[in-house]
Amino acid sequence: MNGALPYTEVSKAASTYLGIVTLVLFGIFLYLWLTEPRRLINGITFTIFFISFLTELAVLIFSTGNSLFIIIMGTLFLIILGIIAVTMIFLWALLLWNAIIVWKRESHTLSNMLTLLLAIFLIVLWAINLFMADRANLFPNWFNVILGGLPTIGVYIALCSYNFMANVFLYQFFPRRYKANYLIVLGAGLINGDKVSRLLGNRIDAAIKFANKQVKKGRPMPKIVFSGGQGPDEKLSEARAMADYAIEKGWDPDLVILEDKSRNTLQNMQFSKALIQEDYGQENPYIKFFSNNYHIFRAGLYAKAAGLAANGVGAPTKFYFLPNALIREFVAVFLMHKKRHIIVIGLIVLMILLMMGVTIYTDIVAK
């Protein structure tokens, strides 16, 4: 047999080495994530680990040599891939369905129509691709090079959106550690200029629930910083409205701090940090901030930018509301790092232009 190892032994050896690699990758991800969860690189390290884990699992399944088990697991894998493929193919339909639900249940603002706009964009893109499929010979070669290169930009944006979603998902599971000195509740628009919305109320309720659970664990009751200024169409500051809501729920007014000057999330963090430092009188208080689950990762990025050592706890959001909210959050995070993206997209465009130039030169020489 020329000293060759049986297939199952080779598979087991490969599984062992892959297992070691997977453990190392998991250790790297876990260290980076627990050290600082407010980094986009965490999504990348998690994805690399997860791909390694799936590869190891596949090798492990084949190394069993059990045909029935391999067929069952292979079928499950193909079913999962099929569900993902069908979801991506009919994404436009799912987005339209969500847009209809949001249209019926929410206000008709631009921010609530993002799934509709994305669905229309995907339909138009599909129609253009269908129209161009058999008409490539109608256009000069250099133009076809441009059309062939543009999807690369789309792939890059899709990868960025996946990485963002991975980070949003991971951030929901970051350890909460009930030992906070201060809780920051981030403001949102008021209904009729003076009433806390259900979305905002969920944030306040989550903070109160956290505080009560912390006390049950034998630790002191934290103070709550209600952070939000007064908009031009609001009768009072968001901070004041939130505090009134919490006090009506039984929260101690002596444990309330109002931050009523901020106009955006970055200012929420900056101004709240200044008030906490003034109130605490020590260098390193333990702080948690509260927002809706779709928003806490971006809020964490702003907290990091403000030099605030705090991580977030997400309040629940209605499921149908999430697609629009997550699209909005992705766009905001994408623009936060616009210099990086401009460089990458610029390099892609440069490569397309170089390929176009080569094509034009080749066509001229051929003539």
* CATH, domain range 182-325: 3.40.50.620
Residue 74 has what pLDDT?
82
**Residue 5: what pLDDT?**
45
Q: What percentage of the chain carries pLDDT values higher than 70?
A: 95
Give the chain's count of helices (H) and strands (E).
12, 5
Summarize pLDDT for 7-42 with one digit per residue, the tens: 456 566 777 788 889 999 999 999 999 999 999 999
Contact partners, residue 183, CB within 8 Å, separation at least 6 = 207, 210, 211, 222, 223, 224, 225, 287, 288, 289, 290
Count CA atoms closer than 13 A to 123's CA, side-chain side: 11
Asked if 157 and 363 count as a contact pair (C-beta separation under 8 A), the reply is no
Bridge pairing between strands 182-186 and 287-292: parallel
Determine the Cα angle at 75 with ends 72 and 81, to 5°. 145
| pLDDT tens-place string over residues 254-266 | 999 999 999 999 9
Q: How many CB atoms lie within 10 A of CB 39?
A: 16
Q: Which amino acid is at 356?
A: M
**pLDDT digits over 136-178, tens only?**
677 788 888 888 888 899 899 999 999 999 999 999 999 988 9
pLDDT tens digits along 291-321: 999 999 999 999 999 999 999 999 999 888 8
**Distance (Å, rounded) from C-alpha 59 to C-alpha 18?**
9
Cα angle for residues 90, 95, 99 (degrees, 5° grid): 150
Residue 236, phi then psi, degrees to nearest 5: -150, 170
Give the residue extent of every domain in the chain: 7-89, 182-325
Residues 91-140: pLDDT tens digits?
Answer: 888 889 988 998 888 777 887 888 999 889 888 888 877 777 666 677 78
Kindly report the backbone phi and psi dihedral angles of residue 196, in degrees, each rounded to the nearest multiple of 5, phi listed first. Answer: -70, 130
Percent of the chain whose predicted confidence (pLDDT) is above 90 = 57
pLDDT at residue 3 above 60? no
Supply the pLDDT for residue 143. 81
* Mean pLDDT for all residues in the chain: 88
Whether the per-residue pLDDT at 222 is higher than 70: the answer is yes
Residue 213, pLDDT score: 96
Spatial distance between the Cα atoms of 278 and 287, rounded to a whole number of angstroms: 14
Choice between 342 and 61, residue whose per-residue pLDDT is larger = 342
Instruction: Name the 3-class secondary structure at 227.
Output: strand
Condensed to tens digits (0 to 9), the pLDDT of residues 64-82 reads 777 888 788 888 888 988 8
Question: Collapsing DSSP states into helix, strand and coil, what is residue 349?
Answer: helix
User: Which residues are CB-neighbours of 219 under 8 A, at least 6 positions away?
Assistant: 178, 179
Which pTM was predicted? 0.87
Q: Where are the beta strands (DSSP E) in 101-238?
A: 182-186, 223-227
Assigned token pair, 71: 């067929």
Q: What is the 3-state composition of the chain as percent helix, strand, coil, each rounded to the nearest 5? A: 70, 10, 25
